[in-house]
Amino acid sequence: MAAIMSGMMIVLTLLVMVSVPGLSENSAVNPVSADISAACQASQFAEACKSSLMNTSLGSKRAGAEEIVKTAIGLSLDGVKESYRLSESLLASATDSHNFNSTVAAHYCLEAMGAAIRTFSRSGAASLGKRAEVKDGRAWMSAALTYEYDFYSAFNRLNRSDLTATIQQMNSTMTITSTALSMVAAIETYGRDMKLWRPPRTERSANSSTSETSSGYDDSIFDVHNNGVELLPNVTVSLDNTSEYSSVQAAVDGAPDFSVKVFVIHVKAGVYREIVRVPPSKTNLMLVGDGMDRTVITGSMNALQPGVGTPGSATVGVNADGFVARDIMFENSAGPEMSQAVALRVDSDLSAFHRCAIVGHQDTLYAHTLRQFYSNCRIEGTVDFIFGNAAAIFRNSTILIRPRILPSKNGETSPIAAHGRLDPGQSTGFVFDKCIINGTEQYLIDFHANPQIHKAYLGRPWKLFSRTIIMRSYIGDLIRPEGWQPWDGTFALDTLFYGESDNYGPGANVSARVAWSAQISPLAVGIYSPQTFIQADRWLPFLLSNYLN
C-alpha cells in the first residue's frame, strides 16, 4: 500500500473551481437555474456542479431532487464509460508495444471501471424516495468514487505525458461523482427539500450534528452464537480426490452465475496452495471450511513482483456481492521483507466472514469497498494490515500484531488500521466493536523485553477523510499511549475521524491520546452500530440464522 502513497492528497481537494460560463445575470430568479443552484449547495464544487447540470436537459426545465441526482449520476456514468474505453485503447497499444507497466495498469483500470459501471447502474436504479434505497445508493456511489480514484492513481503513476488528457478527464468525472454522492448524502440527512441541502459534514465538522444518534441501542441480534446447526453444501472440495473438486478456484468457477440463493462450497481440511478469484458474476457464494486453522487457502504473491501490485497480490480476491465465508483461513505467506502482500481483498457488498483467520504481514486484509461484516475472526499482520475504503464492522474479533522482523530486537512501528476514505460524502469507515487488540505471543515477548522500541498504534490516516472507530474493545498494553500515528506530518489530521468509546485494558487509557482523536459520546455510538453503519438489519439476520451459526 505504500506504493499508493498518500503524499499525493486526494485529487478532489486539489481541483480548481471553474467559473460558470453562459449563465445570465437574471439566473438568480430563473426557476430552472434556481433548482440546480439549490441542489448544488450539497456539492463541495458548487460552481462546477451548476455548470455541468445546466449543460444537460435540466438546463431547460424544472426538476425535483431525484431527477437532478440521477442526472448527475448519469453524467458520472458517462465519464466512467469513456474512461473504460480509454483503458481498452491503452491496453491495446501497450500490448502491441510490449509496454509491461502500461499493460498492467490498463488491466487494473479496466477492472476498476467495470466495477464503477456496475455500481453506477445500481445507483441510478435506486428509488431515492425510500430511505433504505438512499443508503444503498450512497454505499454504491462511495464505491464508485473509490474505483475512479484507483483509475486516476494507476494512470498517474505511469508518469506518461500522453495520458495527461485521460487523467484530466477522470478529474472531471470524480468531481461530478463527488457531487452526485453529496446530493445522495443530502437527501439522507436533510430530505428532498433542496433548499436545505448542504455539503456533507464529518464528525470533525464544527457544529455538526446527526439525526442518527442513539443511546442504549440493542444490537445483540448481530452476535453470532455456535448452535451446532449443520450446513449442507452444494459441492465439496478436497485434496484427496474424494470430492467433486480438488481446487477452490475450480469450485468457484463451477458455481452458478448471478445466483439469488446462497451456493455453499465446503472446503475440507487441508492446505490449498492457490490463488482464488471470485468474479462479479458469482453472487451469493459461500466458502465453508473445517476450521480457521484446518482449512487454509495460502499464496505468497507480493506487490514487488512484476505485474502484480498491491491488489493483485491477494491470495483470495472477491468481486461478487453477497460473499460469505466461515471456518477458513486466508493467508499470504510472503515474509515481512516482501512489502505489501494481501491475504484477502474484498469488493463485495453485503459480505460476511465468520470464524475466519486472515493472516499476513503488511496489508493483510484489503477491505476495499462496499459493506462488510467480520465476526469472531482473527486478523494478523504487521503494518497497515487492515486497510481500504469499505464500510466494515469487525465484531468479537481478535486483532494481533506480528513481529516485522525475527527476532525483532531492533524494534518496529506497527499501525493496525489504515482507512482510505477519500470524500466526506462517503459512508465508509472501520468499526472495531467488542474486539481484542493485542499482539501475537512472539510479538508480546519482544515487546515486554523492551517496550520503548516497539511502537504499535491503532491506526493512521491513509487518505484525507480516514475514519476508524474502536468501541467496547480490549486494548493491550502494546498500544502506545498516544493511540494513533500520523501518516505524513499533518496530513489529514484536521479531516480524519478517529474515535474511541467504552474500551478497556491497559492500552485503553485515553489521557495521553493525540489531540486529533476523539472520545465518542454514548449518544453517538449508535451511528456505528451494524444496523445503521452497514444496514445489517436488512440482510445479516438471514445469514446469521441460516448460514453463520
Catalytic residue positions?
384
3-state SS class at 549: coil
Query: How far from chain centre, in Å, is Cα 471?
Result: 19
Please state, in angstroms and as integers, the Cα–Cα distance from residue 534 to each residue in 119, 311, 384, 527, 538, following that order.
Answer: 16, 23, 22, 10, 9
Length of the chain: 549
d(CA 235, CA 218): 37
Helix axes 100-125, 131-157, angle to 10 degrees: 170
Omega before 306 cis (within 30°)? Answer: no
Q: Judge contact between 380 and 400, C-beta under 8 A.
A: yes
The C-alpha angle with vertex 185 and arms to 184 and 191, in degrees rounded to 5, equals 80
* Count of beta carbons in the 10 Å neighbourhood of residue 405: 14
3-state SS class at 110: helix
Phi, psi of 275 (to 5 degrees): -100, 130
- Nearest Cα residue to 471 out of 422, 418, 510, 413: 510
Q: What is the DSSP string of 285-334?
A: EEEE-S-TTTEEEEE---TTSTTTHHHHT-SEEE-STT-EEEEEEEEE--
